[in-house]
Structure 1
């Protein structure tokens, strides 16, 4: 047998066979972390691939796209006829509608020019088959359906489909069926394809198309054609690369996905500490064996390799189990993440599960790499074992105690570096250095943990001795006498609990800030939106006539027609353009300004002087504040406006520029309404006014009328669903960390069996031994909780003050939910105490005779 195999058997495989349960604990920790990473990565990948596939299906083979601030007027398309000499082009209308049936499903609507479509996009008609039947497809109100969508809903050629879009109910007729390829894959295959006229009528866009896609012949200069198109276009129209829509899809919800990946990695990080803990315990327990092997000629490389193999084996086993667990968790994670994307970013989004190959590979690499990194320090500690001192009991801890001073200095230096990193600006829109600061806090926590263990043992000794007698004195002696082992376990638990406390604080601060924002923003008594689908998604825009209709209902004091649409600044950067009647805003308020000034007076001045309001995300993203200029691309060309104020807004993270309704109509000529806020007359309740509006409808419009209270509840419900997955990940991380406490205590009980036997021989009872181990577990939980409070405060400060503002552009008023924090800490203390039950039984069952014989 080779020398290395002997070393491996003596230090790793032999002990693992004798104590398989203890060897399994770090495997479970890594498995849980890998499962979380794989499931979250799969969900995020599914989101991005679904958006990109839909964007590619719509873009087809196009090289360029003609777009406009309001869309492209149909009359402007005539100026593009010269393109037939160098390629082809096809106009397109896109939007969404709700199936006005029991399903309430949201579907995509695509209008196209059938004659020009073939050169730009693939669209294979399966039925009808004959030319005479296909002629009927040109009839207004006829749509084409992908075969899977039609089969799922039981639609056939000739079926009538009830739709609700833009506040209007209508019906269309199925004229043909499409193979699920090309354009039929848009919207995840839940799409109705129709002619331009029908799409414009359904979506409230008569006289406009959303864009004109251009395909160039081989060898034609894209730049030359672009310049030629731009020279023929009227102000407000522009030419952009065809891939911009797919690029925008890739950026969809990117900050949300980035933060979710980071949070999922927290569980794997805790698993790393569990692996490091297990290997550290192995090194500590086997120091005499290491010394013996070194004396017999084993090289440092063999010792290092043996413990590296142990850590990598744990990582490999945990990764395999974790991949299986990830498959199970993936469906739940996908449902939660896709629900958040639909609620917050794209109501009509259809998220399909992506292949699991890339997430499996990603999680496998993450699991293997984290396990390898976790074993480096313990393995390096093993090769520094000096044979002579290692034979003396307690030599390791004396060395550890001498290193506490340098560790404290290193922890202070790391915290200073974290503070400097937190002040850095985002890189490419992401808070990379903010997350680096979080990692540095974790490192400082790991450096400080041995100091906390020693200080905790010393501080608790008088109290435990007075309250629990001999068991209390033993517990503090046990806890303080095992700095290395307990420090790693305390670090893992403190990190997991600290991040949990930070997330509780952050979410509570966000929720309270959002609640306050809702109360100050939603001043109307009723809100009118287009009829929503089964999932509550409201799609399309209301027609301009909705304003006069609402104004005619008795009991309505005022109507604020609110419009929100996609737009861009003068440089083409995407943002949201909004409009509101500033006269009503100056009367009722509803735009809480960050500087605390009176929004009523600001709105009145903005209306009078032609100024705009911008949201906080816009201010952060574009670096503009009150008094600066905001530029917009409009149908009348690029326009610049003075910013009258910056208001708090959580509706989107791209940024919004809000114009007065009259100014918006003048520049954009778009009278449609996204939603309408209604102020009730004096003496008229919101419920009574809603009944009057619904009674006056006579099915003229398809709308939802929501009271102020109901809308607040819906918004907070979306908020709570958004953070459901984070709470699950936090709970998993804490559970993994508690396993680390149990692992450390079990190893301690096994290592100290001779001490326990001698104590039993000297008169200590089983109850006292068991109590001492339980109290040690409780003390570990207390020290970890105290450290977690300090670390959690740092994590929360970074999340609230750095990461969230840099990720989303939102600021929050800090709020400390004492009750919830105390509850979480109490649960962890109870779990730590429970983690001492099995080690306590092991210690109490020690046979005194056997222990004395070993001595």
Structure 2
């Protein structure tokens, strides 16, 4: 029965207005595509990171590290002598400078070098339990090359950068302490499959010699004899060893990026949320146009329940079409983004393709989830038109009395939703950094704002009633006040889209202004110098003492302040965090919180970023014991304040350079800040520093760092701005469709007013006054609601998700443009719809009714 009615009532109407239906389908499809595509991109990035990490780390049962300092060859011998150990592979790593190869920025490229035992890898592979298959050299029938002296086995990324016909490569490797870098020439051997960037594998003895770390090891990868109780074996190890199962790097990255992925995913759903209002507007317009048909089929015996089911079927068909198209578009969007990111996210030629990265992750469940969201959005949007058709009195409608009046919501509902939204926004985050309460609060605020529109409209009409005015203004006031609930429906889409656009505009503007102010504080010098060499943990290696001393003696430099980047552990065997030691007397930290209490004379003062305060409990005034990651020595520290840090989301500490040197005895520097002497240019200073340090130093001007940071910021928020525009456009189309529906439903009213003597021009002015009242209320509500949402984003979502606080900044020019656009679009849509409804059909409708 429902299908037959749909074929005879709905389908002809859709054929008459295919563009309108296509717009509703496209709104659902766009929302589903954005959400599904963002999910696929996140999943592909996580899958690739996991694959790359496993290719380098291998698949041992345990990874052994020293609880303090490095492991030694004696530790390896003791491990091998344990009967439960089948294979043990010693590993040592370093980042080497590759002077003969330059990157896209003109700087010498780095290559990651890993020293290991090739025999252990080949033996484990022969036994059918490969320890690190992608690090095992492929020697093409020349097994002796596995132990060849000074030989490096390269992956595809490194081989692609080798000069033509090169059989060797020259590298510079940092040495421990104050020793100068060692330069060596390595012969090119076999191939390895691991790694995205340039990577080479050496014999463990050659690596220890080259890295200047004889008898020293970073870790030992252990495979146990089959049948061994791994947990019991790990428990009986000596305390100087730390045994860890291979870290699931994909899970670790998932935890690190959860906040970003959740925020981007919810933002992508914004288009689907506003698209549901467009579906509502299209179905409302269709309902208004076919009102006599609904009344006629009602008189002929079609029940109210059947009419309700028919409208829901229309919404379901729109949802199905939009969902199917959206899932296909989302897959294409993700594949296109992967292609733009470098086809294979920087993989070598034999790695997975972009399509392969997408299909390596489960697709059925996400497709079902986002498909269900699309259907749910269309179904919810169809509820109001369906209820309207269900409540009509067919006989009265056939007499021209139109749609039944909407039932206004009590004012306390809006107030309750707004209060609930504010309360939810104050809840702490869940699952570490996910502001679930804040997002639920934003949803309640949006719903409360929608419920508040009728009260705002009535309030405006009361204010205008006291001002008096002519007959047209009186008619506009009375009509607007009586149809306040219909105004809420008509403006729902643009109000939500405008509120979200205002909120995102304020958040992005506040973030950008705060970032610019932070860069001015964090980069006070003119030129910054750091070592081009890297330590095994990826930090800059110390600059040579000659360079550090010479920087302050250059004629172009008025002042040079050294800086030391190191690492500390907040707890034994915990992950090391970054520590920056610099002369804090030369500039103020961008502090957001300072300790004003008593200072502990036995502890060194440090300052933490907001992530350290929130994640590791480093509150101002707290005294704690940390451990230098390189030496294992402990040190007492006291938190003297919290500083703003937009460069990372993990814990980081700052301390005075003099305190660092007294505590560690380390007088090296990894970076230096230079202030130029008056009359000297940056180019002259660069040339002087380059002549002093050669290829071992990297240079960056403060202006360049600021520009680069802002470019990265703007590029990161491009998708946000685009999603804003899409949501606002969908909302404006929804207003146009809703206004058309209302105008069509009022044809008999317009005809009656024409019979009473009002001219066509007066009716257009009446529509303009009504539209201005309702659009003004909607724009004001959208602006105020958007400002409230922006407070949640700036003061709750960003601090909870990323541990970044920022100052609130209101870009009034952009906000005025957004509000003006929404107001003009709503008024213009009403006038256009009214112009169509004020034709001869209006007068004819009254005559037919008579």
Shift of residue 116, structure 1, vs aligned partner: 2.3
Pair 1:80–1:282, CA change in 2 (3 A) = same
Separation of aligned partners in 1, 2:505 and 2:418: 23
Q: Say which of 559, 562, 565 aligns to 1:563.
A: 565
- Indicate whether 1:25 and 2:32 are aligned: no
Give the match for residue 842 of structure 1. Answer: 836
CA contact (8 A) 1:501 1:824 kept: yes
Contact map agreement 2:608 2:641 (CA 8 A) in 1: yes
User: Which is further off, 254-263 or 642-651?
Assistant: 642-651
- 2:49 counterpart (48, 51, 54): 51
Q: Against the structure 1 CA distance between its residues 56 and 668, is the aligned structure 2 distance closer, same or farther, given a 3 Å change threshold?
A: farther
1:425 aligns to 2:411 (yes or no): no
8 Å contact 1:613–1:647 — kept in the other structure? yes
Shift of 1:845: 4.7
Query: Residue in 1 aligned with 2:188?
Result: 175
Q: Is this contact kept in 1: 2:603–2:637, CA < 8 A?
A: no
Aligned counterparts of 1:716 and 1:564: Cα–Cα separation in 2: 27
**Residue of structure 2 aligned with 1:379, choices 386, 393, 396:** 386
Give the match for residue 127 of structure 2.
none
| 1:366 matches 2:373 | yes
2:801 counterpart of 1:807: yes
Kept in 1: contact 2:543–2:671 (CA 8 A): no
Report the alpha carbon displacement of residue 263 of structure 1 after superposing the two structures with TM: 0.9
C-alpha distance in structure 1 between counterparts of 2:675 and 2:103, whole Å: 32
Give the aligned partner of residue 212 of structure 1. Answer: 220
Q: Distance in 1 between matches of 2:601 and 2:173?
A: 31
SS of equivalent to 1:819: helix
Is the partner of 2:607 in helix, strand or coil?
strand
| Partner Cα distance (2:268, 2:811) in 1 | 24
Structure 2, unpaired ranges of 5+: 125-130, 175-179
**Mapping 1:225-624, distance limit 5 Å:** 225-233=233-241, 238-283=242-287, 289-290=293-294, 293-294=297-298, 296-330=300-334, 354-355=357-358, 357=363, 360-385=367-392, 398-400=405-407, 403-404=408-409, 406=410, 408-429=411-432, 430-455=434-459, 482-530=483-531, 540-553=538-551, 554-555=553-554, 557-563=559-565, 565=567, 568-570=569-571, 574=575, 576-581=577-582, 584-585=583-584, 587-595=585-593, 609-624=603-618
Query: How far, CA to CA, are the matches of 2:86 and 2:662 in structure 1?
Result: 36
- Residues 281, 734 of structure 2: 8 Å contact kept: yes
Q: Within 5 A, what are the aligned runs for 1:772-783?
A: 780-783=774-777
Question: Match for 1:122 among 105, 130, 133?
Answer: 133
SS of the equivalent of 1:627 reads coil
CA distance in 2, matches of 1:57, 1:654: 25
More helix by share: 1
Give SS of 2:428's match.
coil
Please identify, of 271-280 and 644-653, the stretch whose mean Cα deviation from structure 2 is larger: 271-280
**Is 1:72 matched with 2:70?**
yes
User: How many angstroms apart in 1 are the aligned matches of 2:512 and 2:207?
Assistant: 40
Whole-angstrom CA distance in 1 between matches of 2:171 and 2:468: 72
SS at match of 2:641: strand
- Contact 1:397-1:482 within 8 A present in 2 as well: no
TM-score scaled by structure 2?
0.83
Once residues 103 and 175 of structure 1 are traced to their aligned partners in structure 2, the CA distance between those partners, rounded to angstroms, is: 24
Which residue of the partner structure matches residue 677 of structure 1?
673
Q: How far apart in 1 are the matches of 2:643 and 2:270?
A: 34
Does the CA contact (< 8 Å) of 2:592 and 2:642 recur in 1? Answer: yes
Preserved contact between residue 281 and residue 744 of structure 1 (Cα < 8 Å): yes
Shift of 1:520: 1.9
SS of 1:570's equivalent in the other structure is coil
Call closer, same or farther: CA 1:204–1:64 in 2, change over 3 Å. Answer: same
Cα contact 1:41–1:261 (8 A) shared by 2: yes
- Asked if the contact 1:530/1:675 (under 8 Å) is kept, the reply is yes
> Which residue does the alignment assign to 2:652?
656
Distance in 2, matches of 1:246 and 1:84, equals: 32
Moved more, 771-780 or 263-272: 771-780
Cα distance in 2 for residues equivalent to 1:519 and 1:351: 42
8 Å CA contact 1:564–1:577 kept in 2: the answer is yes
Q: Is residue 2:632 matched to residue 1:636?
A: yes
Question: What is the CA-CA distance between 1:27 and the residue it aligns to?
Answer: 1.6
* 1:619 to partner: Cα distance: 0.5
3-state SS in 2 of match to 1:355: helix
Q: TM-score, normalised by structure 1?
A: 0.83
Distance in structure 2 (CA, Å) of the matches to 1:547 and 1:242: 39
Contact (CA 8 Å) 1:532, 1:539: kept in 2 or not? Answer: no
Deviation at 1:360, TM superposition (A): 4.5
2-structure distance, mates of 1:743, 1:246 = 46
How many Å apart are 1:732 and its aligned residue?
0.9
Task: Measure how far apart 1:771 and its partner are.
Answer: 6.1
1:696 to 692, 711, 719: 692
Structure 1 segment 725-804 matched on structure 2, within 5 A: 725-757=719-751, 780-804=774-798
Q: Which residue does the alignment assign to 1:345?
A: none
State whether residues 272 and 370 of structure 1, in contact with CA within 8 Å, keep that contact through their aligned partners in structure 2: yes
Worse-matched range after superposition: 53-62 or 298-307: 298-307
Whether the 8 Å CA contact 1:575–1:656 is kept in 2: the answer is: no
**Counterpart-to-counterpart distance in 2, 1:622 and 1:63:** 30
CA distance, structure 2, for counterparts of residue 393 and residue 522 of structure 1: 72
* Counterparts in 2 of 1:443 and 1:92: CA distance versus 1, 3 Å: farther
Q: Deviations over 1:755-785 (max 9, x none)?
A: 4455566676666666665666555543322
Contact 2:153 2:192 (8 Å CA) reproduced:
no
1:838 deviates by 5.1
TM-aligned CA deviation for residue 437 of structure 1:
0.4
Deviation at 1:737, TM superposition (A): 0.5
Q: In 1, distance between residues paired with 2:811 and 2:837?
A: 39
SS in structure 1 of the partner of residue 562 of structure 2: strand
Q: How does 1:151-190 map to 2 (within 5 A)?
A: 158-159=166-167, 175-176=188-189, 178=191, 180=193, 184=194, 186-187=195-196
Distance in 2 between the 1:139 and 1:550 partners? Answer: 35
CA 1:454–1:312 in structure 2 vs 1: closer, same or farther (change >3 Å)? farther
C-alpha contact (below 8 Å) 1:26/1:275 kept by paired residues? yes
Assess if the C-alpha contact under 8 Å between 2:31 and 2:273 holds in 1: yes
* Bigger mean CA deviation after superposition, 421-430 or 242-251: 242-251
Q: Indicate how the Cα distance of structure 1 residues 848 and 815 shifts in structure 2: closer, same or farther if over 3 A, else same.
A: closer
Contact 2:40 2:331 in 1 (8 A): no
Distance in 1, Cα, partners of 2:187 & 2:316:
59
